[in-house]
Amino acid sequence: MNILNTKSAILQTIREKSILKQLVYKNTADAFLELKKVLENLVNEYNLELTDQADALRLEYEDRGASEVQIRVASDILVFSMYSNVFQFDRDHPVWQKDYVKKNPNNAYSGIINIYNFLSDSFKYKRSDDLGYLVARIFINKENHYIVEGKRQMGLLENDLSQSISDEDSLRKIVETAINYSLNFDLLVPPYDDVKILAVADIDEKIQNAKIKTGKRLGFQFKSDDV
């Protein structure tokens, strides 16, 4: 390949990849905006059913900018975070087994929205050592098709990229299942060996801020989780 042909190939790839990634990002950003509406409407709807409850039980919605939104549900906070980058699935991922991707590999380029679960007290008391866990992640491609990866028990693992379309109903299902899943995992006592030794210099800060590393039992592997 001569220099002119190489330059032409590079320019063509730049143009094609740029258009593709811009489209994927736009779809992901549009889905994230729709997700924000779903979350806000859901919080308002649920709160109407909790008018006779203490304020601590009422859900809270907080828009944290273009790429992050969070809701508080009882003692949990779910953080929804959108990546600004576009990714392609690795060659070992099951999506490559589908004709939809085999026939057009560009369908494997996706934006990602992550769903994390934290304890609300971790934010309230600024316990920076506390742990948050990835509950699920949503992949959205150039045709606005999506799949969800997460704990098998969530019951929302849409894994057929050719069939599923990101819309209000699908996002609502994902949100409610993620909430239900998070609420049903209880706080675990920290392992004894993790907290049995404490330096004198740290004791005041530990007592003031309760900085024992805290988290819920939510760890998982995306591709093979039989627990």
Candidates 51, 214, 218; CA nearest to 124 is: 214
Q: What is the pLDDT of residues 143-152, one digit of tens each?
A: 999 999 986 6
How many domains would you assign to the chain? 1
Report yes or no on 193 lying in a domain.
yes
Report yes or no on 158 lying in a domain.
yes
Q: In Å, how far are 1, 9, 109, 115, 216 from 81, measured between CA atoms?
A: 43, 35, 18, 7, 19
Given a cut of 80, whether residue 170 has pLDDT beyond it is: yes
User: CA–CA separation, 180 vs 209, rounded Å?
Assistant: 29
Q: What pLDDT band is residue 83 in, cutting at 50, 70 and 90?
A: very high
Report yes or no on 220 lying in a domain.
no
Report yes or no on 195 lying in a domain.
yes
- The SS3 call for residue 70 is strand
Q: In Å, how far are 25, 110, 197, 205 from 201, measured between CA atoms?
A: 48, 48, 12, 8
Q: Can you give the residue range of the structural domain that contains 152?
A: 3-209
User: What pLDDT does residue 174 have?
Assistant: 93
User: CA–CA separation, 113 vs 82, rounded Å?
Assistant: 4
Q: What pLDDT band is residue 218 in, cutting at 50, 70 and 90?
A: very low
Report yes or no on 218 lying in a domain.
no
The mean pLDDT of the chain is: 83
Report yes or no on 223 lying in a domain.
no
User: CA–CA separation, 65 vs 94, rounded Å?
Assistant: 33
Given a cut of 80, whether residue 188 has pLDDT beyond it is: no
Report yes or no on 215 lying in a domain.
no
Report yes or no on 102 lying in a domain.
yes
Candidates 107, 118, 131; CA nearest to 68 is: 118
